[in-house]
Amino acid sequence: MLELLYHRGSDGYGTFARDELCLAHALHATHSRDAQPIAGCSSLVVVANGEIYNYHELRERLASHEFRTRSDCESIVHAVEEHYSGDLLKAVAEALPMLDGEFAFAVTDGEEIVLARDFAGTKPLYFSKLVFASEKKALWAIGERATSLNPGEVVSLTRHGIHRRQVRRYSRCRVVNPEAELAESLVNAVKKRAEHVERFGILFSGGVDSALIACVCANLGYEPRLYAVAMPGSLDEKRLKIEKFLGLEVVYREIEYEDITNAIDRVLYAIEEPSPLKLSIALPVFLAAELAKANGEKVLITGQGSDELFAGYARYAAMSKNVLNKALRRDFENLYRVNLERDDKAAMAAQIELLHPYLDRRVVEVAHSLPPELKVARGIRKYILRKVAKNLGLPENVAMREKKAVQYSTGVAKALKRIARAEGKKLSEYVEERFSALFSTFSA
């Protein structure tokens, strides 16, 4: 199982075994190089994927616990210990709100394993019976089905069965000055991610979401590179083939049909679904991540999540207030399975971790508390976000730029159809055949 996940971490590997129970971990070092699994002060042991942004605060709050590493993820095991008195599921559920980060983890006391995932579901985690993994293929390889852990959920795996418990994810808050409070929350979200990792780039599309992240970074004095890919003649080529954006270097790669053909199997293997739509979106993510990796990056900050919080998709424009609120809530609840898992696995196939400032807890709570008329106004989608972007210094032509789905703006969707036609197949047929060939040796 660990060998199938080596692409998720090449900086070190570790295992913990007690009788028939085992935890294993592949390290992608973005903050510290301390190996996992990590043992607490008692019988608890943790493996985690992700970043804990408030670990300094937790070290002070949990000062009675002995911290043995510099890893931000060690704060997880001590937070659980703080609440543990024999009921591990309860302890993890009570500890989860203490953690500010993007993460998925497993903790054991030797008798059971409890899994948890952050409140947005930024990092993938799958389980079945007595096993779990960050990707489905590690479970499929041993004949198990893979069930996705829900965001903000804790699950106990024992010989006696599976027990699931949902933790409250977000609260509404009173927003007095919407523009100022949204701007402050977003700037803080970018800052905590930028300060947490050794270096980072930005997954750049030129749209308002990623451009605003770049603008905030420039305002704060950070100098990340902006990574973008597109095909010749595409919309994105016209606006991304530039040397600088707000003084930040743009690293652009023109991709050809051959690049897409060569990447199809790797990306399908990564995203673990025979979906033409998901493949067409994951391909530019993977190719941009490859470009970033070649330039020495390990982390890319993304604009993912903004559309579901601020009404970015065209279908939102004609909705009534009540319908819009319900649609946004539903789409946000499904974000992890529709977009986040796909993007994470596509980027990690190139050994790049994605971080998501728009999915910061405070940003989400402010967004959820805004009235719908601030999200769609006078036919303008993401109305308040565009106002905030202009206030923070993003040029108006970029702040007001209409959304164009990445698979179309990069030219990748058109290229995929052409590749399938060259094989005499419909795209759905072609993708299904490639997917089946890749996973033909897996037993589930």
Q: Assign residue 410 the CATH number of its domain.
A: 3.40.50.620
- What average pLDDT does the segment 203-218 reach? 96
Confidence of residue 417 (pLDDT cuts 50, 70, 90): very high
pLDDT at 366: 96
Residues 182 and 153 in one domain: no
Domain with 254, as residue range(s), is 178-422
The residue from 166, 193, 209 where one domain ends is: 166
Query: Is the pLDDT assigned to residue 193 strictly greater than 70?
Result: yes
- Whether the per-residue pLDDT at 444 is higher than 60: the answer is no
439 domain residue, yes or no: no
Same domain flag for 183 and 152: no
pLDDT at 443: 61
Are residues 104 and 24 part of one domain? yes
Asked whether residue 62 falls in the same domain as residue 24, the answer is: yes
C-alpha to C-alpha distance for 246 and 396, rounded to whole angstroms: 13
Q: Give the pLDDT score at 368.
A: 94
Residue 43 and residue 101 in one domain: yes
Contact 189, 155 (CB under 8 A): no
pLDDT given for residue 332 in this prediction: 96
- Among residues 24, 28, 12, the alpha carbon closest in space to that of 344 is found at 28
Residue 36 belongs to a domain with what CATH number?
3.60.20.10
3-state secondary structure at position 14: strand
Same-domain check for residues 137 and 265 = no
Is the pLDDT score of 304 beyond 90?
Answer: yes
- pLDDT tens by residue, 252-286: 999 999 999 999 999 999 999 999 999 999 999 99
* Residue after which a domain boundary falls, among 166, 186, 216: 166
Same domain, 160 and 190: no
Give residue 173's pLDDT.
86
Label residue 87 by pLDDT band (50, 70, 90).
very high
Give the end of a domain, one of 138, 166, 194. Answer: 166
Same domain, 270 and 154: no
Residue 171 lies in a domain: no
Question: Could you tell me how far CA 392 lies from the centroid of its own chain?
Answer: 25
Q: What is the pLDDT of residue 163?
A: 95
What are 11-65's pLDDT values in tens digits? 999 999 988 899 999 999 888 788 899 998 889 999 999 999 999 999 999 999 9
DSSP helix, strand, coil percent of the chain (3-state; round to 5): 45, 20, 35
Residues 140, 119, single domain; the answer is: yes
Q: Give yes or no: residues 280 and 233 share one domain.
A: yes
Q: How many domains does the chain have?
A: 2
DSSP H/E element including 334: none
Residue 376 and residue 231 share a domain: yes
- Domain membership flag for residue 427: no
* In a domain? residue 429: no
Residue 171 is predicted with a pLDDT of 83
